[in-house]
Amino acid sequence: MKLSTVAWHAGVLAVLAIVLYPIVWVVAATFKPSADIIGSLSLLPSAPTTANYERAVEGIASISIGRFFWNSTILAVLSVVGTVASSALAGYAFARLRFRGRGAMFALMISTLLLPFHVLIIPQYAVFQRLGLIDTYVPLLIGKFLAAEAFFVFLMVQFMRTIPQELDESAKMDGAGHWGIFWHIILPLARPALITTAIFTFIWSWNDFFGPLVYLSTPDKYPLPLALQLFVDEASGSDFGALMAMSMLALVPVILFFLFFQRFLVEGVSTSGLKG
Amino acid sequence: MATVAPTRRAEAPGQPAGPRTRVRRSGDGVAGYLFLSPWILGILLLTIGPMLTSLYLSFTDYSLFTAPEWVGLDNYKRMFEDARWLKSVQVTTIYVAVAVPVKLAAALAVALLLNNKRKGQGFYRAAFYGPSLIGASVSLAIVWKALFTDDAVVDRALRVVGIHTGGWAGNPDFSLLMLVLLGAWQLGAPMVIFLAGLKQVPVELHEAAHVDGAGRWRRFRSITLPMISPVVFFNLLLETINSFQVFTSAYIVGGPNGSPAGTTLFYTIYLYDRGFSDFRMGYASAMAWMLLLGVGLITLFLFRTARGWVYYSGDKR
């Protein structure tokens, strides 16, 4: 290896070490006795213990952590199903079909890309309250089934436009209708876009705090981020170890997704500019 | 595909009966609307409807439990006399003005460092990107606060070099800076986009300039930066708009009052507090529209200035 290459690796690793220090520190911290966590800079626990994780698993307010994991999983899985299905349908219409008003609707869709959701949350809340849907998952999920996340519609459109038009034409010759073309030709070829959408939707739903904070009030229904906040409020400072351990457990699915799908994630960002 | 019976064509949605030429002209008609129906429902019920409603509510006094009462521009006038609103505007503006350049500079620096043909680039790119996925989560905000409390890691490390600030989480002079750093820590997403832009810069340009005696800095200023200016603009726009909407980290670190001393009272947090703790939903709607107006004006401003410094080469290769 050339000297300049060695120097480059050393330089990159040095910067990377600074960036990743907080993660390494906190992972080590969760294996230290609760009282030692704050003041200790070391990356190796002197007397490793799993006590923090044992207390974290017990949960909060007599609800086990498994319950919160289950809630988060339900929300994330339904979000993925809804978003992938509705965005793919909308993407196909925008990318492949010609109909009156398409241009105007496409422009409308693009203009909602950067719309701050705060403008919508209050009237949405008022409506869901009137329908008796507060403290249910409906307000959190309905938008996913109605392609409300314009980023993913846009991603689908961009991807489906690159699929050769001749494939549609020849299927049409063979007598396939729009549904047949969509189902048998476009969807299989759009798999990378579908996977990217699914992964990002899962992670965003998993991390979402604002939506559950606004709509949910029964701790039994809380997903993990809200449960963590409850933990912060209830145990403020008293059981730091368990709080850290629970924070780390909440990140495990995201980290697994990252490890398995990092190619899709990084490619998704570099081609469509998805926010992280 | 060949096994599909020919009769299917007649049943296919959006294929009106009649000669083929007519079908061509009228496009795909009904099928388009059918495929788009979830999105159309969504844009009407979840976007346009609520937007118009919130515009109306912003001119009313509304507490969710009584009917909205028309008050004209009162909510908008009251904002400018509301010390906490003014504080939240100040906090958010400072945050955006500092966090965006810091994050983008860090992202560009790492992208430049990674931009070469050596082995291992893909691994490093993914490793730097990782924090972007978890940085805005509750978990990370809890960790960040732990790093910056009194006598914790950062406090101790700074004392070693003779800086005594105490924990930043409780120090009004540094609490916002701590959130700026949390933002910058998520440099991976813009870095990946910068890197994609840097790969498009033709090597020949650099070689030619090198032959002409241009140094590293000169080549960066005169070749790299103009060539990647569209990507810089894209990142700038995206990060600016996202930074205005920071909520989770600030809420976990500073709570609904933006402690310490209101220094982390972000606009979104104050909006949440007025809307969902006090149920002043008319006022909160007016705040939301001011945010939309503010973000809209800044977006417009960015697009205006972009004409002066964003360089689109005719040939993107």
- pLDDT tens digits, one per residue of B89-119: 999 999 999 999 999 999 999 999 999 888 9
Beta strands in chain B (DSSP E): 60-61, 69-70
Chain A nearest C-alpha distance from B228 (Å): 14
* Residue B45 domain flag: no
Q: Would residue B282 count as lying in a domain?
A: yes
- Residues A234-266: pLDDT tens digits? 765 568 889 999 999 999 999 999 999 988 888
Q: Which of B44, B30, B39 is CA-nearest to residue A91?
A: B39
Q: What is the DSSP string of B211-255?
A: HTT--HHHHIIIIIHHHTHHHHHHHHHHHHHHHTT--HHHHHHHG
Contact B11/A at CB under 8 A? yes
> What range defines the domain where residue B124 resides?
77-309
Whether residue B47 is contained in a domain is answered as no
B256 in contact with A, Cβ within 8 Å: no
User: Is residue A24 over pLDDT 70?
Assistant: yes
B188 contacts chain A (CB < 8 A): yes
State the total domains in chain B.
Answer: 1
Selection from A247, A222, A202 nearest residue A71 by Cα: A222
pLDDT tens digit sequence for A25-37: 999 999 998 888 8
CATH number of the domain encompassing residue B125 = 1.10.3720.10
Q: Which two tokens stand for residue B317?
A: 């290769």
| Amino acid letter for position A232 | V
Residues A181-208, mean pLDDT to the nearest whole number: 94
When pLDDT is averaged across residues A38-44 and rounded to a whole number, the result is 79
Judged by CB atoms closer than 8 Å, whether chains meet at A38 and B152 is answered as yes
Interchain contact A110–B (C-beta under 8 A): no
| Residue of A255, A252, A256 lying closest to A69 (CA atoms) | A252
Q: Do A90 and B35 touch (CB under 8 A)?
A: yes
What does the block give as tokens for B227?
């060539």
Q: Give all domains of chain A, ordered by start, each with its CATH number.
A: 1-49 (no CATH), 60-272 (1.10.3720.10)
What do you get for the CA distance between the two ends of chain B, in Å? 38
In a domain, B64, yes or no: no
Inform me whether the pLDDT recorded for A5 exceeds 50: yes
Distant-in-sequence, close-in-space partners of B106: CB < 8 Å, separation ≥ 6: B184, B187, B191
* pLDDT for res A40: 77
* Rounded Cα distance, B129 and B107, in Å: 10
- What Å distances lie between residue B227 and A94, A274, B151, B230, B252, CA to CA? 31, 22, 46, 8, 40
Model pLDDT, residue B316: 44
Structure tokens at A196: 């990217």
Q: Name which of A11, A244, A229, A255 is nearest B153 in CA terms.
A: A244
Residue B109: which residues within 8 A CB-CB, separation 6 or more? none
If you measure CA to CA, which chain B residue comes closest to A114? Answer: B241
User: In this predicted model, what pLDDT tens digit does every residue of A107-124 receive, in sequence order?
Assistant: 999 999 878 888 899 999
Q: Which pair of structure tokens corresponds to residue B231?
A: 């990507």
- What is the pLDDT at residue B20? 43
| Host H or E run for residue B285 | helix B281-309
Residue B211 burial (C-beta neighbours within 10 Å; 0-12, 13-18, 19+): exposed
Contact between B146 and A274 using a beta-carbon 8 Å cutoff: no
- Whether chain A has a CB inside 8 Å of the CB on B16: the answer is no
Contact B289, B54 (CB under 8 A): yes
In a domain, B53, yes or no: no
- Enumerate residue ranges in chain B where pLDDT < 50: 1-25, 315-317
A11 touches chain B (CB under 8 A): yes
Q: What is the pLDDT of residue A235?
A: 64
The answer for residues whose C-beta is within 8 angstroms of residue A99's C-beta and 6 or more apart is A93, B14, B27, B28, B29, B30, B31, B32, B33
Alpha helices, H only, A136-239: 138-145, 150-161, 165-173, 178-181, 187-189, 191-207, 210-215, 224-234
Task: Identify the residue with better confidence: B18 or A213.
Answer: A213
Determine the residue type at A216.
L
User: What are the beta bridge partners of residue B60?
Assistant: B70
In a domain, B17, yes or no: no
Peptide bond into A48 cis (omega under 30): no
**Chain B stretch 159-178, residues whose beta carbon is closer than 8 A to a beta carbon of chain A:** none
**Which of B35, B147, B245 has the CB atom closest to A22's CB atom?**
B147
Of A227, A23, A232, A43, nearest to B169 by C-alpha is A232
Cα-Cα end-to-end distance for chain A: 34
Spell out the residues 6+ positions from residue B310 whose beta carbon is closer than 8 angstroms to its own: B229, B230, B232, B233
Q: Which of B16, B15, B34, B188 is nearest to B111 (CA)?
A: B188
Q: Do B146 and A240 touch (CB under 8 A)?
A: yes
**Beta bridge partners of residue A60, listed in sequence order:** A63
Q: Are A123 and B113 within 8 A, CB to CB?
A: no
pTM of the model: 0.90
Cα gap B296→B292, rounded to integer Å: 6
Contacts of A102 (CB under 8 A, 6+ apart): A93, A94, B32
For β-strands B69-70 and B60-61, DSSP reports them as: antiparallel
Q: Could you tell me how many residues make up chain B?
A: 317
Q: Tell me the average pLDDT of chain A.
A: 91
**Within-domain flag for B39:** no
* Residue B20 domain flag: no
